Amino acid sequence: MRVSENILISSLTTMRLGGPARYVIEIEKPEEIPDAYEFAKTYHLPTYVLGAGANTIGHDEGFNGVIIINRIKGITDIDEYTVKAMGGENWDDVVEHVVNKNLTGIEALSKIPGLVAAAPVQNIGAYGQEVADVLTEIEVYDTKTNAFCTLSRADLKFAYRKSILNSTEKNRYFIISITMRLKEGQMPGPYYTSIEKYIADHHIADLGPKSIREIVSTIRASKLPDPKEKASSGSFFKNIYLNQTEAEKAIAKGYPVFHGKDGYKINSGWFIEQAGFAGKLLHGMRVCDTAALVLINESATSYEDLAKARNEIINKIYDKYGYWLEQEPNEIINTPIGKQS
């Protein structure tokens, strides 16, 4: 367990905003987890668990608490179809491992930035696949009972970008590992338009896991900025989900409604593009011209700059189309101990 003081949150997150965290603790072994929480308890400080910082925004005032970073590594094949990955592993390395076994289930989640532990928290998904589809259980440390335990997929109550881990039980569990059950075969259709177009344009017949991973990786590279090169937190706005009645009304208005296994939805980026934001610089934040869901920190120096850009987009979309956009990244906010959010 490594303890550091006064570390800028901007150096720990890919949006590169945020003042100093009072303490940062890096965990490399599960047995160090209770010690980290005991450290915070001793100094009466709140905690915030952080991974690669790809889906997290810091505030200018920093965090008067303890940021705990998961550095626990390891990928293990339990059997032919079951893979266990430790929380501190890079997510895309796990996808690559699974695809190299020629198993399907997460190949469309290729190149999503972040660590394994973040995957079940917000039920990461892309191009019709979600972690919830394959996850069987997670190992955690329960800060409420101060004990190690296992939670099943049913326990996590998955929904779109949601689980108990970022809602009813937020901040309660430290995720040690996840276990996934994959299968042979290929990802079923219908595929997203961008994948269908790539398949048609390149006359691809093989739609196995390796091929889909290559297609998705190429598409993402062409549209999404690399957080290592351009400061961003990936998709900044969640897509809009609709019930059947809402979908019918949206279709009647000419909006591009996609109907997949998880219901009806509209890509929020479409509204942002239609409203004329694509490529625009707003308070130092650039709306990505190839993927309008992404905000790039080009010259913003404060959380206030980000908030102004975000709110300008949200208000314009509501005024013009009647939909409220919802922010996807989490925020590190100072809260009194016992009232962490």
pLDDT in tens, 67-80: 999 999 999 999 99
pLDDT at position 160 = 85
Cα separation of 61 and 71, whole Å? 26
Whether 157 shows a pLDDT value over 90: the answer reads yes
Cα separation of 159 and 122, whole Å? 9
Predicted confidence (pLDDT) per residue in 274-329, tens digit: 999 999 999 999 999 999 999 999 999 999 999 999 999 999 999 999 999 999 99
Q: How confident is the model at residue 336 (pLDDT cuts 50, 70, 90)?
A: low
pLDDT at position 260 = 73
Catalytic center residues: 161, 235, 328
Q: Which residues contact 95 (CB under 8 A, 6 or more apart)?
A: 106, 107, 109, 110, 112, 213
CATH fold of 75-181: 3.30.465
Ordered by start, the domain boundaries in the chain are 2-71, 75-181, 226-329
CATH fold of 226-329: 3.90.78
Question: Which amino acid is present at 132?
Answer: A
Cα separation of 298 and 286, whole Å? 6
Q: What percent of the chain has pLDDT over 70?
A: 98
CATH fold of 2-71: 3.30.43
The DSSP-derived string for 2-66 is EEEEEEEGGGTSTT----EEEEEEEE-SGGGHHHHHHHHHHTT--EEEESSSTTEEE-TT-EEEE
